[in-house]
Chains A and B, each alone.
Chain A
Amino acid sequence: MDRLYFEDFPPGEIVEYGDAPVTAEAIVEFAKAFDPQPFHLDEEAARASMAGGLIASGWHTAAMLMRMNCDGFLNRSAGQGGPGVEALDWLKPVRPGDRLRTRRTTLSARPSRSRPALGVVAFLFEVLNQNAEIVMTQKNPVFFLRRAAGETPR
């Protein structure tokens, strides 16, 4: 299978992928481990809260985006992770029964100054639900090996 390298992410490209069903069980499982607040754990408690019903932890939504990115392109790429995230915004609640997908826009791509084997690609990820509402946006760079440099990072 052809792997995706730095050179395969032209700025301006927009790609959509992912179809992640959100279940109450998955919301509660993540929340029990990492974000045990009532509106992520229990439908009845959530109805009485500002969430108005059970909602996914924002960190869970970010983890779901990560998974869609792995399945959608990273795991057939020469991706080497990333240094961080510039901006992450939770715009709408994610609820049981939602189906999430990702729209990825390539913002910029430049060779790494300090590591010649790598390039840095900046992406905007928009997570959409089944009603085409944007529930989360995330802007972050990802490191990729450069095709010319082969597969071994220096």
Chain B
Amino acid sequence: MIGLFYEDHRVGQAVAVGAHEFTREAIIAFARAYDPQPFHLDDAAGAASLYGSLCASGWHTASVCMRLIIDYRQAQRAAAAARGEPLPPLGLGAGVRDLRWPNPVRPGDVVAYSARIDAMRETRRPQWGIIGVHAIGVDQLGREVLAYSSQALVARRGD
């Protein structure tokens, strides 16, 4: 459980944000829209590729991670609102470093995602801090399929 304001975060805090099954249909639909390379669209082309079978676009694997992080955040915001607590304004992401796809995600794989706070720093703007998050995705066999470090603005409580 990680709080909503900058001051509620601590380096080293980690949360499991959820798991997601990648269906063949979703892998192909994402690829058709955003990443129509043959090994994301077609079994035969996947088998002939470096990956040995049809596999998900890495951007699909990463976008699902974003979705689960947002769902986790929004559940926290709803719980805080129900307790009558103030809600911080939402900040934007600044960028990502060292995004890696160490293993392919194939149809039927279930990826469990988690996020860890790995950096915090104040900015010149008193209302915002920057939180660094290291996110990973691990498949049902324990293989890492995604890892990245991101930085985003998080509102300060100011106390």
Which A residues are within 8 Å of any B CB, using their own CB? 33-39, 49-51, 55, 57-59, 62-64, 66-67, 70, 74-75, 79-90, 118, 143, 152-153
Contact = CB atoms under 8 A, between A and B. Distances in A.
Instruction: Classify chain B: how many residues form its interface, as a range.
Output: 35 or more
Interface string B23-58: 000000000011111110000000011110000011
Top 10 A-B pairs, shortest CB-CB distance: A84-B100, A63-B34, A34-B63, A89-B95, A85-B99, A88-B96, A80-B50, A34-B67, A66-B35, A59-B63
A38 B62 CA distance: 20
19 contacts: A38-B90, A39-B90, A57-B66, A58-B93, A66-B34, A67-B35, A74-B37, A75-B36, A75-B37, A75-B38, A81-B39, A81-B50, A82-B101, A83-B100, A84-B98, A84-B99, A85-B98, A85-B99, A87-B95
B45 to A, nearest CB: 11
A149 B36 CA distance: 24
Contacts, number: 103
Contacts of B124: none
Contact of B59 (A49, A51, A55, A62): A62
B99 A50 contact: no
A35 B74 CA distance: 11
A37 B90 contact: yes
A34 B148 CA distance: 17
A80 B49 contact: yes
Nearest to B101: A84
Interface of B: 33-39, 48-51, 57-59, 62-64, 66-67, 70-71, 74, 89-102, 148, 153
Given A87-B97, A152-B48, A50 B92 contact: yes
Contact of A63 (B37, B50, B59, B91): B59
Nearest to A29: B33
A78 to B, nearest CB: 10
